[in-house]
Structure 1
Amino acid sequence: MSTKTTQKIGFREATALGVGGIIGAGIFVLSGTASGIAGPAVVVSFGIAFAASLILSLCYAELSSMHEDSGGPYAYAKRHLPPFVATVVGWANWGAWMCASSYVGIGVGSYLHLLVPSLSQPVASTLVIAVFTGLNLLGIRFSGKVQFIALILTVLVLLGFIALGATHVDTALYTPFMPHGMSGVLEAALIGFLALTGWDAIVVSAEEITEPRRTIPLSILTSLGISFILYAGLLLIENGIIPWDRLGASETPVVDVSRVFFGTHGPFVVNCIVLVALLAAVNANLIVISRSSMVLARDRLAPRVLESTATSRQVPVVAIVAAGVAQTVMSTAGNLRFAVSATGFLYTLTFITSIVALFVARRRGISASFKAPLYPVVPALALALCFVFITSAGAVGILTGVGWILLGLVCARWTSRPRGGGAPGPAPVRDDEVPAEHGSV
């Protein structure tokens, strides 16, 4: 079965996919959670998180300029690491996005409930996910256009929100600046790291992006830069208008802040815009979860039915529907703190293996049209930061992540092709299958 699709998206849609994955739930839901942990110093936390994400994104940009495979970290592990490791990475990446979809779904349900009180959060989440599952069945080109429109609206309104909020900031609320000390700053940095890592949605969908070895690196760096500017501005406004402890207890911090300077009508207007951004995040999650499972199924590491496509548009129908169901379950039965911990462990595990894959690729002399600067310092620093973040996931995150990976290994054992009784894993990729250098960034 051909794995090529008839639909492709370009730089602007790919960037919108990355921004949608980053600012959706993080900026509107997790910004309050992080503020409750670090206080006004949450800006420092997100600065640390941005530095870590930027360093890591440079490594991914180089890897993506070598290969055109969908699957992101799994594709890199499959080409440069042992098959067993690739299986672990593939399932970890799939699980990370499903866990992340929990706080996206909870966020969209919570904000929609404010607009329509008769809809409870679980019901609201389910309806939104069902609608976007249907839109995704129309193809990635259509959902990519929706994503771009949502991005433009979100960025414009957030910039206006920050500008208006700046006139209402009370600098006295920035004291105490670090109520829980440096430990609180570092704990919030993990949340900031998770909130800024949605850019990897771009690499997971590589096969559906035009000129991926050029487009993907540019889209990654652009989406990360746009998102950090919006995060930093909003965090300064939030903590300068509402005390940090009240922000930490709120599931809708942006709406709460808007009441201060927009009055009674402000929350309604802001809530509508927040929903637009969260809808884009729901869409990004559906795209990534479905493509992650499709790639695993194609390599016989997940149930083969997940690779079934609609012949007219090569849309992974079963994988999209399954992603919608999974996101619904995670959104209606999930817990924010639990989701953050599990996502943190699984995400960071895939980042670690991707950096190792970059070291291996460099040693093998694989051509790349984009080079991470200051090699090997940048990937080594990224690796060190990832080890710090993975230990911050806590016992719950580690146990949940390990349990999911074990489930994946069992499933892969049952669905993989016979390989002489060895450990389950994808067929290794030969050196002559690695794409040569193409284009430049």
Structure 2
Amino acid sequence: MVSDSSTGRKNSRLHKSLRFPDLFSIATGAMISSGLFVLPGLAYYYAGPSAIAAYVIAGILILPALFAKAELATAMPKAGGDYYFIDRSLGHLAGTVAGIAAWVSLSIKTAFAFVGIKVFLEVLVPGTYSMEITLAALAVFTFLNLRSASHAGRAQVFMVTGLLTILLVFSVLGNLHTSAARMLPFAPNGIRGIVEATALIFVAFGGLTKAASVAEEAANPRRDIPLSMMASLAVVTFLYFTSVTVCVGTLEGGVLAASMTPLSDAAATFAGRTGFIVMAVAAIFAFLSTANAGILASARFPLAMSRDRLVPAVIGRIGSRSGTPWFSIALTSVFIASMLFVNFVRLVKMASAMQIFLFMLTNVVVIVMRESRIHTYKPSFKSPLYPWMQILGTASMLFFLVMIGTDALIASSAVIFGGSIWYFVYSRKRVQRDSALLHLAARIFPGELKFRNESITRELKKVLMERDIITEDRFDRLVLRSEILDIPESMELKEFLKIAAETIAPSLEMQPAELYQLLLEREKASPTALRPGLAIPHIVVPGNGKFTVNLARCTGGINFGNPSEPVHTVFILAGTMDQRNFHLKALMAIAEITTAPGFDEAWRKCRTTQGLRDLVLLSRRRREV
């Protein structure tokens, strides 16, 4: 029995149990289902043999969205994926719409999987209770996901491993029996046919980014999220290409265009009834895999929205023993069950339209997050070719959105409109938070726009501390209490030391003149400028049990004795003799911080003193707790 706290906000921590094999299997299993075992026939109907090219094109065009989500997920590894990214960057209205659209789209794609199970059960065992068995499968995977994410993850690894093995054998044997004559004419419906097929099957790649929606449950999101997504795309695109080539090369065009079981029909041409049965069983495994991954990932969208008070708190309840969002999982499963009775082709097009819309927004989000210059936005993976990759991704998604068809656009627009109504009726009055878009606007209009608060900056700081497993040590606590000098103009060393002494003296219970003299004598004895741009003045002061760490940035530069190499970054350490051991530890911490790649540029770009403080606090270094 699942127990929970009284509200989703009292017990909202998810277990970090998913590793690379789990994340790879979630992404891979989510893609290899209807996109491969059902859609090749529909794609052939639109594009003929060039359906092969349509799959490859879709795999290439997903790259901007993959890079965008990998960057965002490593910077913000939180449950909700698309919803969380869009809400924190573009604001609550966009976030509410995106959260509902993502949940509906992913749930519909999961419903495809159960439809596929039903189709193949009817093919394998005519007259069976296919709908009843399909609903039973939905109940089983709902139960698995209620148990824990790790149980669902282990089941996913097992299913995907078997599935990839079967598909690899099918591709190798099938390509030995293909006929080049069936590849011609390659594009009977021209470019338009290829474009329509690509837009239709784009949803097949939508599962690739499911790993991002469970990033909060990843044990090592910095490494495993981007690596699992890229490995999954490479493997799946290869299998799409080889498998669809087998279908086109072994089946008559009319047969393939009308087939709802194209891989099984193709296997039957060179392996007989045995081949048909093996591929039908593989298809069922594929659909089971997608169904499991779909429930796991799509249930995280309502959870994330509940945490933000955009939907009722009850939806975000998490089981105290299982660590899973049980109410959200149950709600998602009920919605999936209702979708089993809707027309399949309409489902495909509607899910594709919403998925394309979300991919388009995700590319926009990367641009907004980077240009907002929020100092706590620190992805461990950065999308290459910025911003051209994002511009290309946005433009291509917009093009396919137009090509997807009127019915799908109307249905998707209804979801967007409904999400907007929900925001204004329920969500708007319950939450106020800054977004990255406001930070970007403040950069463009610095004198006209003021932040309500720095909530997004503080929130991302907490996310980074959780991601990098940062537990504050004594050095961090001293930095939190430190005085930070941010001096725009250039100055001489003595002038700077006077300002520093006046600032620091009260915390050491000393007179500024006495502290200034100690700092000056230290510089005369041995200059503390350690390298171009960095100095670490450190002195021993009278008394016992005293130690301070203070930071300073001088944009114009301080002359520490070499005018050609002005100092812009200063750490001032002052402590009593009994603190010598910690003095050495503080010097080691500063050395780790200031030698990190990109530190000098990040220090220069910080817009506030809090940004300077956070740059030090969020550094990756060894900590003694």
- Taking structure 2 as the reference length, what is the TM-score of the superposition? 0.67
- For 1:355, the aligned partner's letter is N
The 2-side partners of 1:323 and 1:54 are apart by 28
Q: Which moved more, 1:412-421 or 1:114-123?
A: 412-421
The separation in 2 between residues aligned to 1:420 and 1:145, in whole angstroms, is: 37
After superposition, the Cα gap between the structure-2 partners of 1:421 and 1:77, relative to the gap in structure 1 and judged at 3 Å, is: closer
Alignment equivalent of 1:433, drawn from 459, 473, 477: 459
- The whole-number CA distance in structure 2 between the counterparts of 1:192 and 1:369 is 31
Whole-angstrom CA distance in 1 between matches of 2:74 and 2:217? 15
Asked if 1:184 corresponds to 2:217, the answer is no
The residue number in structure 1 matching 2:618 is none
> Paired residue for 2:114, among 105, 108, 115?
105
Partner of 2:73: 64
Specify the alignment match of 1:373 in structure 2.
384
Shift of 1:408: 2.7
Alignment partner for residue 390 of structure 1, among 401, 405, 408?
Answer: 401
Q: Tell me whether 1:289 sits opposite 2:289 in the alignment.
A: no
Match 1:84 to one of 72, 90, 93: 93
Deviations 1:171-200 (A, max 9, x none): 111112112111110001112321112111
State the Cα distance separating 1:278 from its structure 2 match.
1.1
The match for 1:141 among 146, 150, 153 is 150
Distance 1:186 1:245 in 2: 20
The answer as to whether partners of 1:199 and 1:220 remain within 8 angstroms in 2 is yes
CA shift in 2, pair 1:119/1:294, >3 Å: farther
- Identity over aligned residues, as a percent? 28
Aligned counterparts of 1:276 and 1:114: Cα–Cα separation in 2: 15
- Report the Cα offset of residue 245 of structure 1: 2.9
Q: Give the structure, 1 or 2, with the largest relative contact order (CA under 8 Å, sep 6 or more).
A: 1
1:347 to 343, 355, 363: 355
Partner residue of 2:569? none
Instruction: State the shift of 1:391 in Å.
Output: 0.9
Which 10-residue stretch deviates more, 189-198 or 13-22? 189-198
What is the CA–CA distance in structure 2 between the aligned matches of 1:26 and 1:361, rounded to whole Å? 32
Q: CA deviation at 1:101?
A: 2.4
Residue 392 of structure 1 aligns with an amino acid whose one-letter code is M
Once residues 285 and 407 of structure 1 are traced to their aligned partners in structure 2, the CA distance between those partners, rounded to angstroms, is 23
- CA distance in 1 between counterparts of 2:153 and 2:423 reads 31
Task: Give the whole-Å Cα distance in 2 for the aligned partners of 1:117 and 1:149.
Answer: 28
Q: Measure how far apart 1:414 and its partner are.
A: 4.8
> Partner of 1:265 in structure 2?
274
Distance 1:421 1:145, change over 3 A: closer
Q: Which moved more, 1:259-268 or 1:141-150?
A: 259-268
Q: State the Cα distance separating 1:123 from its structure 2 match.
A: 2.8
Do structure 1's residue 227 and structure 2's residue 236 form an aligned pair? Answer: yes
For residue 409 of structure 1, the aligned residue among 408, 420, 440 is 420
Task: Tell me the equivalent position of 1:399.
Answer: 410
The one-letter amino acid paired with 2:372 is R
Q: Could you say which structure has the larger radius of gyration?
A: 2
CA contact (8 A) 1:101 1:330 kept: no
AA aligned opposite 2:138: I
Counterpart residue identity of residue 142, structure 1:
H
CA deviation after TM superposition for structure 1 residue 137, in Å:
1.3
- The 3 A distance-change label for structure 1 pair 140 and 120 is same
Aligned partner of 1:217: which letter? Answer: P
Question: Residue 248 of structure 2 aligns with which residue?
Answer: 239
Check if 1:356 corresponds to 2:382.
no
SS in 2 for 1:108: helix
Q: 1:301 to 1:12 in 2, by over 3 A?
A: same
* Higher mean displacement: 107-116 or 83-92: 107-116
Whether the 8 Å CA contact 1:78–1:429 is kept in 2: the answer is no
Distance 2:232 2:369 in 1: 25
How is 1:14-53 mapped onto 2 (pairs within 5 angstroms)? 14-53=23-62
1:192-217 residue CA offsets vs partner (Å, 9 max, x unmatched): 32111211111111111112132111
Match of 2:64, SS state, is helix
Q: Distance in 1 between matches of 2:261 and 2:70?
A: 34
1:124 aligns with 2:133: yes
Secondary structure of 2:305 counterpart: helix
Contact 1:102 1:336 in 2 (8 A): no
- Whole-angstrom CA distance in 1 between matches of 2:382 and 2:303: 29
User: Residues of 2 paired with 1:376 and 1:421: CA distance?
Assistant: 30
Contact 2:310/2:431, CA 8 A, preserved across alignment: no
The Cα of 1:224 is off from its aligned counterpart by: 0.9
Higher strand share: 2
Q: Distance in 1 between matches of 2:210 and 2:198?
A: 21
Three-state SS of the structure 2 residue aligned to 1:70 is: coil
1:167 deviation in Å? 1.7
Is 1:114 the counterpart of 2:123? The answer is: yes
Write the distance in 2 (CA, Å) between the matches of 1:396 and 1:327: 21
CA separation in 2, counterparts of 1:225 and 1:309? 35
Q: 1:421 deviation in Å?
A: 11
Once the two structures are superposed, what CA deviation does each residue of 1:290-309 show, in whole Å capped at 9, x if it has no partner?
11122122223234322122
Task: In structure 1, list runs of 5 or more residues that go unmatched.
Answer: none
In the alignment, is the contact (CA less than 8 A) between 1:78 and 1:428 conserved in 2? no
Alignment map for 1:196-211 (pairs within 5 Å): 196-211=205-220
What is the aligned counterpart of 1:93 among 97, 102, 107? Answer: 102
Equivalent residue number for residue 165 of structure 2: 156
Deviations 1:17-37 (A, max 9, x none): 000111122111112211221
Deviation at 1:120, TM superposition (A): 4.5
CA shift for structure 1 position 409: 3.2
Supply the distance in 1 between the matched residues of 2:313 and 2:235 (Cα, whole angstroms): 38
Q: Secondary structure at the match of 1:374?
A: coil
| Partner SS, residue 312 of structure 1 | coil
Q: Considering only aligned residues, what root-mean-square deviation do their CA atoms show, in Å?
A: 2.1
Matched residue, 2:331? 322
Normalization by structure 1: what TM-score? 0.93
Worse-superposed segment, 384-393 or 409-418: 409-418
Structure 1 residue matching 2:212: 3-state secondary structure: helix
Matched residue SS, 1:434: helix
Q: Aligned residues, how many? A: 435
- The answer to which structure has the higher helix fraction is 1
How far apart, in 2, do the equivalents of 1:420 and 1:238 lie?
Answer: 52
- Take 2:221 and 2:328, find their aligned partners in 1: how far apart are those partners? 22
- Give the Cα–Cα distance (whole angstroms) in 2 for the partners of residues 99 and 290 of structure 1: 12
Contact 1:344–1:389 (CA under 8 A) maintained in structure 2: no
Q: Specify whether residues 82 and 412 from structure 1 end up closer, same or farther in structure 2 by C-alpha distance, changes over 3 A only.
A: closer
Distance (Å, rounded) in 1 between the aligned partners of 2:313 and 2:362: 25
AA in 1 matched with 2:314: V
Q: d(CA) in 1 for partners of 2:423 and 2:259?
A: 41
Instruction: Note the C-alpha offset of 1:239.
Output: 0.1
Contact 2:361 2:394 in 1 (8 A): no
Compare 112-121 and 375-384 and name the one that shifted more: 112-121
Corresponding position of 1:168: 177
Give me the whole-angstrom Cα distance separating, in 2, the residues matched to 1:420 and 1:313.
29
- Give, in angstroms, the shift of residue 16 of structure 1: 0.3
Q: CA deviation at 1:49?
A: 0.6
With over 3 angstroms needed to count, the CA separation of the structure-2 counterparts of 1:170 and 1:81, relative to structure 1, is same
SS at 2:32 equivalent: helix
